[in-house]
């Protein structure tokens, strides 16, 4: 759990920092189209979850990881990072960027959750040892 807490915290803080940076540059969550620069934010959870699960596999599982262990660890990381990023994002939307609609922000947060779940499956499949057997 310690590795998930560390990785999730880093991803959550970096995701919130990305939100602050995008707001500072003038991009808001109420824009109807997705800007290409906003798509780059996918790299934060992708790299964070991958590196977090790889560290877990190498240091806590002695380089042996099955699909469900990788999936569980990546879900833990995603849960922790989502709580931190969501909390900081709500604070940002409520107190700093007051023109931002919380409904628009929650829609983007839900979209990020779906992308995060897909990342978790991809990371678990990538880092598992025996690719012929998923158990």
Cα–Cα distance measured from residue 130 to residue 36, given in angstroms and rounded to the nearest whole number: 36
Express each pLDDT in 13-54 by its tens digit: 998 888 888 877 777 655 566 667 777 788 999 999 999 999
Sign, Cα dihedral of 48, 49, 55, 56: positive
Selection from 33, 24, 43, 14 nearest residue 116 by Cα? 43
Q: Per-domain residue ranges for the chain?
A: 2-15+43-127
In the predicted model, what is the mean pLDDT of residues 113-117? 91
Token representation of residue 54: 């790889």
Judged by average pLDDT, the poorest of 37-41, 75-79, 119-123 is 37-41
pLDDT of residue 132: 56
- Total-model pTM: 0.85
């Amino acid at each position: 759990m310690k590795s998930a807490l560390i990785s999730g915290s880093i991803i959550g803080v970096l995701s919130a920092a990305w939100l602050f940076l995008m707001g500072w540059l003038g991009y808001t969550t109420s824009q109807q189209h997705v800007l290409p620069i906003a798509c780059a934010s996918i790299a934060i959870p992708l790299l964070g979850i991958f590196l977090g699960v790889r560290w877990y596999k190498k240091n806590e599982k002695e380089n042996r990881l099955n699909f469900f262990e990788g999936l569980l660890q990546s879900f833990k990381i995603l849960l922790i990072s989502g709580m931190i990023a969501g909390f900081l994002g709500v604070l940002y939307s409520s107190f700093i960027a007051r023109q931002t609609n919380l409904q628009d922000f929650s829609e983007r947060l839900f979209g990020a959750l779906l992308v995060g779940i897909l990342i978790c499956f991809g990371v678990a499949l990538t880092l598992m040892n025996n690719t012929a057997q998923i158990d």
